[in-house]
Amino acid sequence: MTDRLTPLQLMEKLISFPTVSRDTNIPLIDWVADYLASHGIESHRYIDPEQPKHALFAHVGPWEEGAVVLSGHTDVVPVDGQPWDTDPYTVTEKDGKYYGRGTCDMKGFDALAIWALVEAHHAGVKRPLQLALSFDEEIGCTGAPPMIEAMQPVLPKGSAVIVGEPSTMQAVTGHKGGIGFNTHVIGFEVHSSMLHKGVNAIMAGAKLIEWANEMNTENMELKPTELAAMFDPPFTTVHVGMISGGTAHNITAKDCHFAMDFRVVPGEDKTAWGTAYLKKVREVEKQMRAIVPETRIEVTPRFDVPALQPETEGAAETLVRQITGDNASHKVSYGTEAGQFQDAGYSAVICGPGDIAQAHQPNEFIEISQFEAGHEFMRNLVTRLAT
């Protein structure tokens, strides 16, 4: 049996794996599986059939339903083009902070969850504890649903899921849903001096992006519902973060690629927003085809993340509030796998160390005080499960 690593040692190891969403996470999962096995803990995997990525889940304590599930993702966003002052894949302590890609979002929590699982196993807890580590959260929470489905026939079902996204250790009981579409505008190339005979895919795509601006303006001016008012901002947002296309400045662009994403407040229908976008797409496409009939716009689903709906006396919320003493109401606008666990019949809440404002940033960090608060939470959780 190997030594029990501290949460900091575990985080240092996890950070050392550059698990950017576009790359594999298997070396990290292999290491976690080996570490758990060295303590006599059996782990299980969901293996993605289309890419080299694995999810991992494990159970300690009595083989019965009712476990607390600690859920986190293993992927991180790229560091490309970001001005880092330290090696992003080495944890660096400075000025009361731990710096490194994923310290905040969310390998800090993953390390604490692994630590808690091992401690719970050795403590002989009376109520079970489970660990769930997914992939591809950063590109739309696409790795969690198949993992959750794979867990059902293998592990006794848990009753309370704690998703450790950075919430400064506050109990977050609701988040927006999300839906996104990859959009490919296919135009027709001509010399720009003859642009009236061609179809500029970028300029056609700009009409869709301007529609997004118009929707944001309209939503901002509406009086929010009571539920929407709990969020910041208190309305559904429409966003395009990247765009590419074109061949040269003097040629009408043949192609334009971008993703149209919606963060939808609970109470609004994500499907209706998708329908509205597709209606606008067909309107622009009709204008394109009036010039060159073979032009078109291809739209494919990118992600679909359900909102986390506030629960009435939810088991997960109750547990977290008992441990943290936090009785305030907290809602966030980012999405997580909490809504996906909730859709699968689990009670779910978000509670993790760190501030979401540091996520995805150059020189990403977690305050040492936050990391220690997360450690204290896990110690208290294990004690509760043992007694």
196: domain CATH number?
3.30.70.360
Q: Look over the chain and give the mean of its residue pLDDT values, rounded to a whole number.
A: 96
pLDDT value at position 135? Answer: 98
Domain boundary among 281, 305, 329: 305
The pLDDT score that the predictor gives to residue 266 is 85
**Secondary element (H or E) of residue 220:** helix 201-221
Residues 156 and 238 in one domain: no
Q: Say yes or no to pLDDT of 120 above 90.
A: yes
Nearest to 381 by CA among 339, 331, 324, 333: 324
Instruction: For residue 20, give the DSSP letter.
Output: B
Share of the chain above pLDDT 90, in %: 92
Looking at residue 26, its pLDDT comes to: 98
Residue 1 confidence (pLDDT):
54
pLDDT on residue 335? 85
Largest distance between two CA atoms of the chain: 78
Which pLDDT score, from 0 to 100, does residue 345 have?
Answer: 95
Q: What percent of the chain shows pLDDT beyond 70?
A: 100
The closest alpha carbon to 323, from 60, 64, 66, 68, belongs to 68
Q: Would you state the pLDDT for residue 267?
A: 84
Residues 315-336 have a mean pLDDT of: 92
Which one, of 53, 40, 16, lies nearest residue 133 by Cα? 53
The kind and range of the H/E element at 347 are: strand 347-350
Predicted model pTM: 0.88
CA separation, residue 85 to residues 20, 76, 101, 152 (Å): 19, 18, 12, 43
Number of structural domains the chain divides into: 2
Q: What is the pLDDT of residue 359?
A: 93
Across residues 279-295, what is the average pLDDT?
98
Same domain flag for 197 and 219? yes
Q: Is the pLDDT reported for residue 42 higher than 70?
A: yes
Structural domain of 182 = 177-305
Q: Please identify, among 274, 305, 336, the residue that sits at the C-terminal boundary of a domain.
A: 305
Do 376 and 283 belong to one domain?
no
Residue 1 forms part of a structural domain: no
